[in-house]
Structure 1
């Protein structure tokens, strides 16, 4: 993988969000910390509540996470600050089956292979299971608000959340929960966030 050098002499990707490390005197207020399984990759988040949080049932997420679905929270690329190990990250482009930094792509620790985030063109999807929540209230801010790609599910989840056959708000709403438990989806312009 080749990258152009920035004016600082660092590879270009290290100077751009979401990989640029914030200096201590910058306007970055860490609220949460998170790390991969082995602890080689550590990062902070500066936004108290994600822009969105969802459970994704697409086959790529099922395969990549070895689970029936993926829990992901949406953040701006500038909301993250790597404090350790961003040199040890690997990228994977599932559309071309390559280890290239082509967006959108999957990002993981090169040592323990924990998924760190999905990097989109404008946003990142982080995995709340990596975040150290200090209170139940903080954890509740990350609770999933809907299911996406539920048409590809391998198991039914009867939790009263909206279930979209594809992308949230852009596909058919699959109704498998009692009507009185279904929450109305929050429209957030998710089309370009992945």
Structure 2
């Protein structure tokens, strides 16, 4: 197991104007099938990775807010999503109830072969909110009705 403080992942928006860093191992890393993620991302599911607030930092040029815009999720106003003013891509979400940041696997930095750098320290361990899935996923990961270990396990 790597030293938690030595694990650093960086990510970005599409145009690279927004950059962030997360340090340490995630609290949760899962493929999320909830309808909110499906709608926000126009995808059947996403790779969501959660960190304590102390592990997240913006790393693009300051003042950071000049390049960032945000919106609060109307049905969950404690969830604020941050996006790039230039390309419009949402890059992170902050949950004020849990004091956690979420980032998405598809935006993490990659190596020359297109693989996410340090994938073994951040790869998903489950499928969450699987009851609202759009497609079945045939893998060995657990499938949960809500969060992994906090809801009913469906399979896997």
Fold match by TM threshold 0.5: yes
Report the Cα distance in structure 1 between the residues aligned to 2:116 and 2:128, rounded to whole angstroms: 25
Structure-2 change in CA distance of 1:169 and 1:29 (3 Å): closer
Structure with greater Cα Rg:
1
Q: CA RMSD in A?
A: 2.4
In the alignment, what sits opposite 2:80? 105
Q: Select the structure with the greater relative contact order (CA < 8 A; seq sep ≥ 6).
A: 2
Structure-2 change in CA distance of 1:31 and 1:169 (3 Å): closer
Q: TM-score, normalised by structure 2?
A: 0.80
In the alignment, what sits opposite 2:94? 119
More off after superposition, 85-94 vs 148-157:
85-94
More strand by share: 2
| 8 Å contact kept, 1:32–1:45 | yes
| 8 Å contact kept, 1:54–1:72 | yes
1:30, distance to aligned residue in structure 2 (A): 8.2
More off after superposition, 28-37 vs 114-123:
28-37
Number of residue equivalences: 144
1:94 aligns with one of 55, 73, 79: 73
Q: Which runs of 5 or more structure 1 residues have no equivalent in the other structure?
A: 1-27, 176-181, 183-194
- Structure 1 residues 149-188: aligned runs within 5 Å: 149-175=129-155, 182=156
| 8 Å contact kept, 2:71–2:80 | yes
Q: Which runs of 5 or more structure 2 residues have no equivalent in the other structure?
A: none
| 8 Å contact kept, 2:31–2:124 | yes
Q: TM-score, normalised by structure 1?
A: 0.65
- Structure 1 residues 17-166: aligned runs within 5 Å: 31-47=8-24, 49-84=25-60, 86-87=64-65, 88-96=67-75, 102-121=77-96, 122-134=99-111, 138-166=118-146
